[in-house]
Structure formats: structure tokens, C-alpha cells
Amino acid sequence: MEFGRLDEIRDDLTALYKDLHAHPELSFQEHRTAAEVARRLEALGLEVTSGVGRTGVVGVLRNGSGPTVLLRADFDGLPVQEQTGLEYASTQRATSSDGSDVPVMHACGHDMHVTCLLGALDLLSDSRSSWSGTVVAVFQPAEEFGTGAQAMLDDGFLERFPRPDVCLGQHVFPFESGFVGMMSGPSMSAADSLKITMFGRGGHGSQPQNTVDPVVMASATVLRLQTVVSREVAGDDTAVLTVGSIRAGTKENIIPDQAELLVNIRSFDERVRERVLAAVHRIVRAEAVASGAEREPEFEQLTRFPLLVNDPEAASRTSSALRATFGDHVVDLPPAMASEDVGLFGTAAGVPTCYWFFGGTDSARFQEAVAADNVARAIPANHSPHFAPEVEPTLTTGVKALTSAAIEWLGTRG
């Protein structure tokens, strides 16, 4: 695959990336982003359908008979106050799903994903004489909710568009830019997010004996939940349990009547997942009883991400194509505890999924952090208010990776 066309469009792609970064939108609110994506797809000559799964966009590039390859990018932002100091940093605010006014940032690199896919589609459109088949470009909403892929599928995705033979995608990650990382088999964890409400009996802070204090109840629960992974998950299994939020009360001298916990659980094995979830329910209920609560706790499932499995044969084939482009800049990565819903497309279609990572951190900065054994602290990770992929060579790497992988799976002409 020749990439000369990339030199012609790099400046435009860079400007697009910075514009998207400066104008992030929350899950299922990606109207501006979707409109810009649709406009660019139409300019490239693709068949364009907007509003798929509420705000998703699908572009179809047909080029004769041959395999159908799905290329996916997500495009929602996060409720994070950007602190990168970039000249194109986001100052956007929006109303979240719970009605709160929140800052918005592309703190996970979805703006880079969109830009890279549009760049790859430009290259593929310009090189139709070298391949045959169909490309289905999926610009997915609400990945951060874990519901965007399913929303598109529920909107008739597999019936409305060509059925893929393989599903491909990528994610920018905080390792060295210019490098691509591949995993085979279980690659990204399943994730469950719960809202747990614990009920007490409120009253005056001077008379705790007349109350059932949900703050104490919730605090004891948080500490006890930390024993689930250390004491109920085997050493050769993997799980992570995080209580990311605890909310209760409005004033220092008022004991409230309820407390709310937001809990996140990650796992690679369904058996482990079920055991951890059961332990969470058991501990929460037991702490409520121990505190004298007069009402059972309530559990609400907020999100559920499936386990992402890279089909081994598809991963091997795709990795070979990436190595042909990037040489020894393709590395093997261990499974990641982060989660993704991209695998739902492949599962629903009954075809392989292959998903990889590409680095977004300045090489010198990354190597300095490695030498100091300080990568975790020195390099901002996804979802950090300081997360900011280096534009180049990150953008070029992402475009080349998607294009090379697509060409590998498409048919050849001549």
C-alpha cells in the first residue's frame, strides 16, 4: 500500500482533529460531530446514513465484488474538565444524562479515532484500483456508556448495511507514538457499573442515637468491598473492583436518610464476574443489616461492557499486515483492564473481531518515563484531564494502521 496521498491530506486531517478536540460532545449528544462526519463521507463519495442508533453515522464504500470489512471509530467525549493547556483545548459544557451541567473533553482519544478513520477512507477511496470489496465505516456514539454499539445493532444495523466478514478497530493509548500494539484472545475486560443506594434514617447530627446513619453504613461497605478481590478471587484470576463515587448528605449537622455508591467491576472470566457481583450484593445487604437499616439496599445496573476477544487467527493476519507497514514498531501487548463495546458488532454478525492500540505519547518523553520507571505517573492516561495525544506521528500511524488492515482483508484487483 502506498501512502503518498496521506501527505496531501495530513494538514486537513490535523485541522479536523483539533476542531473535534475543541468541540467534544457527550454520549448520544454527538450532533455536531456526526454532521461533520457525514459531510466528509459524502464528499468522499460514500453512501451515508445518519441517525443510526440515535446519533451514529454509517458510510458504505462499494468497489466491486469481494469481502466486506467493517471499520469502526467511536466519537463521544467525557464529562471531564480539560487541563492540557493546549491552544485547542475544550471549553465546552453540556447537560449530562442526569441533568447536571458538566465540562466536556475528548479525554479518551475518540477525536483521534474519528480523524484516523476519515483519513483511511480517503486513502481507500483514492486507491480503488488496488482492491475490491466493500468497506462499511461505522462512526459509533456512546461508547463511554457501553450502549452505542448495541443501539446501532438494535436500529437494524445488520439488516440495513452490508454484512461484514470481519470487524476492525483501534484505540489510541498512552504508549510511544509511532508504535502499534496487538493482543490475541481475551483483550479487554468485561465491565459492570452499579449504582447502589443504601437507606438509613435521618436526623439531627447531635442525636445520632435516634438515626440509622447511612454515611457510616456506606463507609463500612466501601472498606469491606475492598476485600472481595483480595479474599474471594483466586490469585490466578483477574478482577478489579472500584468504588468511584460516594454521595450522601447536604450539611455537616444533618444525618441524611440515604447514601449512594457507584461501583465498577472488571473481569476476564464470566465465572469470576458472577462471583464478584454476588459478593458485592451480599456485602452491601449484610452491612445494611448490621447497621440496623429498615429498608433493603437498591441496586441499579448502569452499564455493562462485554469481554472483548480478538479472534486469534484474525489477530495474526492483521498483525502481519501491520508489521509489513510498521516493521518492529508493532509490539505484543498484554490484556487491558479497560473495556470496549466494539466486539458486539462481530458477535452479532458471527464474524471475527480484531482491535489494536496505537501510541500517542511523544517518544522522548515516554522513553524518559520508562528509564525512570515512572510511566504510570509521568504519562497521562485515557480519561485523565491531562490526556492529549501527540498529533504527529500519532495521526499518521492511526491512518496507516487502519488502511493497512483494511487492505489485508479486502480483495485484490488484477
In the chain, the N- to C-terminal Cα span, in Å, equals 15
State how far the Cα of 329 lies from the Cα of 180, in Å rounded to an integer.
6
Would you call 76 a catalytic residue per the annotation?
A: yes
Catalytic hit among 30, 74, 76, 111: 76
110 is in an annotated binding site: yes
C-alpha distances in angstroms, 312 versus 73, 186, 230, 318, 407? 22, 9, 31, 10, 19
Catalytic hit among 25, 36, 143, 311: 143
Task: Yes or no: say if 318 and 330 are a contact pair by the CB < 8 Å rule.
Answer: no
Cell for 246? 460516594
Number of residues written out for the chain: 414
106 is in an annotated binding site: no
Cell for 20? 473535534
SS3 263: strand
Give residues with Cβ within 8 angstroms of 373, minimum separation 6: none
144 is in an annotated binding site: yes
204 is in an annotated binding site: no
Residue 331 forms beta bridges with which residues?
181
Cell for 53? 442508533
Tell me 134's DSSP state.
E
Would you call 313 a catalytic residue per the annotation?
A: no
Tell me 146's DSSP state.
T
21 is in an annotated binding site: no
Residue 355 forms beta bridges with which residues?
169
State how far the Cα of 271 lies from the Cα of 237, in Å rounded to an integer.
10
Residue 134 forms beta bridges with which residues?
62, 68
State how far the Cα of 346 lies from the Cα of 351, in Å rounded to an integer.
5
- Residues at the binding site are 108, 110, 144, 171, 383
- Residues at the binding site for Mn(2+) are 108, 110, 144, 171, 383
Q: Which residues carry out catalysis?
A: 76, 143
